[in-house]
Structure 1
């Protein structure tokens, strides 16, 4: 077997070249060959019919060949913008796998390659998991060239730099690293590139493969790389000095470095006025901690701290739980697992059926367990509120973090009550303080404390006050705008 990286020179004999290519591609049935003639010189065109566009092949070469005039060179007939020559048959094989066509002429020791790739992709549409009320309604698709075009169209700046990589020894997946050359910190760019180049695997199936190979703390439950399918969100992070990683076949863009608060920011925050943007961001942060602790608080109150319930509510709570045969922890565990099962079933089933399962299944199961006396009314309310709060999180990955961490916090609450909850939260916060994303502290700007960066952390100050980029990104240029309301000084 020929090693892929070895040099295999093009032979003057067309027959030997064709035999080598067919052998290298294991005589696959979609490898096609078409004979042509140029100035009485026999030749062949080889292409993969599952990758090449035959209509484009007709326009790029076959039609100009039939209308060729005397004195023209073969290179003049190939109208494809992506045209090259090579004397290495292994490069020819790689080009065929990308959708190129290869032209061999008898007696020539070089091969002509030109692009005729077949493009089958969906049009850019608004992503389902990152919808906004106002603003752009366009998202990335699975074609990396289209995705890079969407970014280029939004950032028409010479600083925008793209570096390509090939990952996956068998899949040969195209990877792009995008950043602003005069904004992004060179040490961060170098570190990202080093980690990408260190990946050695047969296949890159999704951005998750890259994420687990380059993140700082792979065993942490907290997400350290932000994913987005929105070009406007990617643009905003690029202009702050961050680095974006994109891969062929995926509609997600990976953003590094990020902080904990990056997962609670949405494009809507900057489209609506700062009062609304700040309120909804606070609501998301409250939902995160609420979804994390609400079932545990119920367990602790019912099992250990019943005396803190207001006197007027004691009768209601007592009548709800007195006939339940199971401890509060078991109630919460069963209901939490049930919600996760309904959620997972809704995701896997077709959309109309999934919505029916989510609504009808939740109502039927909730009503049945209450009537059977297995779970209290209050427990159903608590779990329903927890599920709603987890749905408020704009990042799907952070929602997974909440669902995973809520179980150990419930165990701590069932063991030590409020003391257990506080102890569990202390461990989580200490862990968050130790996390970094490519050298950026995870809970910046609180640790270390950066008062200036608090303008766009848990709340959003007016746009005209956000004159500098966050310190945690370590951008080369800190100032991003001048006084935007200078007109006020000169009167109206």
Structure 2
């Protein structure tokens, strides 16, 4: 392992470590361009655009497709030509009087020129000037802000993150317009140089949590980061656990709400999925819509989700255990019905249920991977046709098809897809235990899962909190959702100092008789 870490991240062709790029920018622009053209040899998307600023030769360097051509024309070339014909060109003059772009910097190093060009910035080199001017004119073809496809709501904002880093941070800044919202930037990936942003609210997020997040990110040494899932696997506490320990979301309102509870968010350039840490088990059963509609309705729906969580996890195992070992627990009429339906079935109950569960998962995966219109048809028609044909052919019994269908529907009630996947995986071991040991095996497997949840941690926070360890004050936003005027404190495990969320005594009350507005 040590040998791998030492050798795999130091490629011989690494640009920023070469002797050429370690040099400083020379006064003669021809020398600089010669070095840069050699470094970007066979890179057809790197544009070297020469032009004259008065009588002085200059170059613009950028990646074709990364920049806004109109911004370069307006702020880069045209003003240089118009304003510098009679000026002695210096870096300060260019920065202060010419390039009217808000994000502007300078560097005397060629390696920083290379790095900034590859990040999508535009670099200006002028003959006789020993500093390169770097300005942000990013543009190109990017997907605009649209409604998230994986977290659709009936009531709530319709905007979702995109694949661009700065528009994503702007969406969060639009929600939290406070100077306490801090955004730190880093690059990860030896080859991809993927930009990431770490967001937290100063005074709410514990400094130890922020330091731990930065420390784990600093330890990542890899050739490329193409999606936030890469980072999730590197920073989670227990990589062998099937349960997700980092929440991901496409919604800016979800990120803003979690930042205001003392959590930290990680935005990765190139993906709309933002990471939120730390995460607890109950977070994955909460939807944004829980907080946008009346609390009575969504308290009922939360309890319904927890009930169907138990169904999705244990129902196939209980069915196999009861029909195999505990027939005396089944009502007589139902037992006769099940026995009659299984009369011609050649497989034991366990294999029958296993065949149907695997078939259901295959149909669901096929529906996801196919184009959206075709996938929906395949999922619905495949389940109906295959289920009906299997029953008529005597391969499976009708009660088994019903049990598998209820289990599948129950898994769809879990709002977060990654948690739903974990529950779907765990029901197979419980089915095996139920087929081997009956209800004792199902209970034993369920206790193992609960013990694991109680031991699991996410960035030091108990994963099953506030149920274990129990916090009665924080239970008001777990199985139930109390009214907003009753949620006056932030989570105690996350925020230690500024825990007051709102003013006291905000509970609405009807006007007294005789007051203005009373009837």
With structure 1 as the length reference, what TM-score do the two structures score?
0.96
Q: String of CA shifts for 1:145-173, please: whole Å, max 9, x gaps.
A: 11111111111112111111111111111
Q: String of CA shifts for 1:372-419, please: whole Å, max 9, x gaps.
A: 101000000011111111111101000110111011000000001100
Say yes or no: does 1:349 pair with 2:365.
no
CA contact (8 A) 2:261 2:495 kept: no
> 1:427: which partner in 2?
448
Question: Of 343, 365, 368, which residue of structure 1 is paired with 2:386?
Answer: 365
The secondary structure found in structure 1 opposite 2:421 is: helix
Alpha-carbon distance in structure 1 between the residues aligned to 2:501 and 2:45: 53
Say yes or no: does 1:62 pair with 2:62.
no
The secondary structure found in structure 2 opposite 1:36 is: strand
The secondary structure found in structure 2 opposite 1:28 is: coil
Shift of residue 309, structure 1, vs aligned partner: 0.8
Alpha-carbon distance in structure 1 between the residues aligned to 2:102 and 2:179: 22
* Runs of at least 5 residues in structure 1 that lack an aligned partner in the other structure: none
Q: String of CA shifts for 1:71-105, please: whole Å, max 9, x gaps.
A: 47551222222222221111111111122332222
Alpha-carbon distance in structure 2 between the residues aligned to 1:325 and 1:402: 29
The secondary structure found in structure 2 opposite 1:272 is: coil
Question: Of 19, 41, 47, which residue of structure 2 is paired with 1:26?
Answer: 41
Shift of residue 3, structure 1, vs aligned partner: 5.3
Alpha-carbon distance in structure 2 between the residues aligned to 1:270 and 1:72: 61
Structure 2 CA distance for partners of 1:230 and 1:338, relative to 1, 3 Å: same
Alpha-carbon distance in structure 2 between the residues aligned to 1:51 and 1:481: 44
Structure 2 CA distance for partners of 1:100 and 1:486, relative to 1, 3 Å: closer
How many residues are aligned here?
492
Say yes or no: does 1:481 pair with 2:496.
no
> 2:52: which partner in 1?
37
Alpha-carbon distance in structure 2 between the residues aligned to 1:328 and 1:318: 11
Alpha-carbon distance in structure 1 between the residues aligned to 2:126 and 2:389: 76
> 2:146: which partner in 1?
125
With structure 2 as the length reference, what TM-score do the two structures score?
0.91
Question: Of 32, 45, 50, which residue of structure 2 is paired with 1:17?
Answer: 32
Structure 2 CA distance for partners of 1:235 and 1:326, relative to 1, 3 Å: same
Structure 2 CA distance for partners of 1:95 and 1:330, relative to 1, 3 Å: same
- 1:443-458 equivalences in 2 (<5 Å): 443-458=464-479
Q: String of CA shifts for 1:337-387, please: whole Å, max 9, x gaps.
A: 111111111111101110111011111110111011010000000111111
Say yes or no: does 1:4 pair with 2:25.
no
- 1:73-472 equivalences in 2 (<5 Å): 73=89, 75=94, 76-472=97-493
Shift of residue 180, structure 1, vs aligned partner: 0.7
Q: String of CA shifts for 1:166-201, please: whole Å, max 9, x gaps.
A: 111111111111111011111111111111111111
Alpha-carbon distance in structure 2 between the residues aligned to 1:487 and 1:339: 49
CA contact (8 A) 1:241 1:475 kept: no
Comparing 405-414 with 31-40, greater Cα deviation is found at 31-40
Alpha-carbon distance in structure 2 between the residues aligned to 1:357 and 1:460: 37
Alpha-carbon distance in structure 2 between the residues aligned to 1:44 and 1:154: 40
Alpha-carbon distance in structure 1 between the residues aligned to 2:57 and 2:183: 41
Comparing 96-105 with 265-274, greater Cα deviation is found at 96-105
Shift of residue 260, structure 1, vs aligned partner: 0.6
Shift of residue 336, structure 1, vs aligned partner: 0.8
Comparing 368-377 with 182-191, greater Cα deviation is found at 182-191
Q: String of CA shifts for 1:215-245, please: whole Å, max 9, x gaps.
A: 1101001111111111111111111111111
Structure 2 CA distance for partners of 1:490 and 1:72, relative to 1, 3 Å: farther
* Runs of at least 5 residues in structure 2 that lack an aligned partner in the other structure: 1-12
Alpha-carbon distance in structure 2 between the residues aligned to 1:136 and 1:427: 39
Structure 2 CA distance for partners of 1:384 and 1:47, relative to 1, 3 Å: same
The secondary structure found in structure 1 opposite 2:345 is: coil
Comparing 234-243 with 464-473, greater Cα deviation is found at 464-473
Comparing 39-48 with 297-306, greater Cα deviation is found at 39-48
